[in-house]
Amino acid sequence: MGATASQLGKDLLSEYQELTFLTKQEILLAHKRFTELLTREERDLNLNTRVPMARILTLPELKSNPFRKRICYVFSTSEQKDGSLTFEDFLDLLSAFSDSATLEIKSHYAFRIFDFDDDGTLDRGDLEKLVNCLTGETDDTQLTPDEMRQLINNILEESDIDKDGTVNLSEFQHVISRSPDFVSSFKIVL
């Protein structure tokens, strides 16, 4: 623990605390978990090393999440858009999914996670992918095209206020803010 703390640096640590919704312990734990993902030689470089998505996804917290890849893509600052995460990206992820993160930030990231094609709106394609992610790809769980169409129609009917056939961020946040259990379920705890 002392080693990791020294590795992180006191200033940096306090800055991270300032910048995220995480406590010191959580940041240190996150750091520990993150360094466990690094290979031996990468460990020396540390903070700016990117951990490829495949390795990030081995975390049990993300392993069974249907949106795990999207989460990585959204929080990755990688130029190649390969979903690899630096430690700071990882902290961002944990901060957004932490207990104390605000509804606004949670809904913002949720929106981006659901926005599969990164075009800033949830269109029918996004919604379909989203539902498929939730239901899984197997035949018995997946919705029939008919059901899917109806579901998406209903979703748009409810949330698409400006009737442009897509759900944008403000509409999404509007819907989400009224949900009683979004904040409590949009959480990842290491």
Nearer to other proteins, 42 or 147 (CB): 147
**Least separation in angstroms between CB 142 and other proteins:** 8
Longest dimension (CA), the chain: 58
Q: Are 190 and 33 in contact (CB under 8 A)?
A: yes
Nearer to other proteins, 16 or 40 (CB): 16
**Least separation in angstroms between CB 188 and other proteins:** 5
End-to-end CA distance of the chain: 16
**Least separation in angstroms between CB 106 and other proteins:** 10
Nearer to other proteins, 54 or 161 (CB): 161
Give start and end residues of each alpha helix (H) in the chain: 2-8, 10-19, 24-37, 40-45, 53-56, 60-63, 68-75, 87-96, 103-114, 124-135, 145-159, 169-177, 182-185
Nearer to other proteins, 2 or 145 (CB): 145
**Least separation in angstroms between CB 26 and other proteins:** 12
